[in-house]
Amino acid sequence: MADLDEYYVVSGAPGTTTKITLVLDAARARDEDGVPESNYELVSRIAAEMGGIAVRKNKANFWPDRKYRNAWRFDAGTGEINIDTDVIQREIIMKVRQKRNAKLCDQDTKAMRALEEGDTAALAQVQTKKRMLRNLPPQVEARLKAKLRRKKTQKTRLAALEAFRVSELEEED
């Protein structure tokens, strides 16, 4: 029999906070032949009492990292929680846009200074940088998709997403 820590109870009404409970120990019920209930039966019984469901850890990615909680998807067929990497990709693109927008504001300030000073070389440099920043989100999305296309398992896809960096946003002006 598997250890109890392979199972969690997930409860909470839609639109409210989801509670995740680890069942450490509980009294096992016995059937009419005196056979104790399995771990899954035990956790399912406790889950029903709590108004939740029993979830088994996914062996592919163990227990999903809470960092990606918005990307968790419950598979009712297997009783496992998986991570939707498409959601993580959208979050990465959103963060790229936020950082890019801040950099565009900085470039606007530099452009105004260059205009005031009549510095056409600096203005051309700023325009080039702004063009690169405007084109960045679709380029990053394409690079992400290309990188993930080569990854077959969820674990390797998550590792690739973790390691993904946008060097254009990390450099200083």
- Segment 39-45 long-range contacts (CB within 8 Å, at least 24 positions apart): 39/1, 39/2, 39/3, 39/4, 39/6, 39/7, 40/7, 42/4, 43/4, 43/7, 43/8, 43/9
Q: What is the value of pTM for the model shown? A: 0.63
Q: Residues 159, 165, 169, CA angle at the centre, nearest 5°? A: 160
Q: How far apart are CA 45 and CA 18, in angstroms?
A: 19
112-169 pLDDT per residue, tens: 999 999 999 999 999 999 999 999 999 999 999 998 888 888 778 888 888 888 988 8
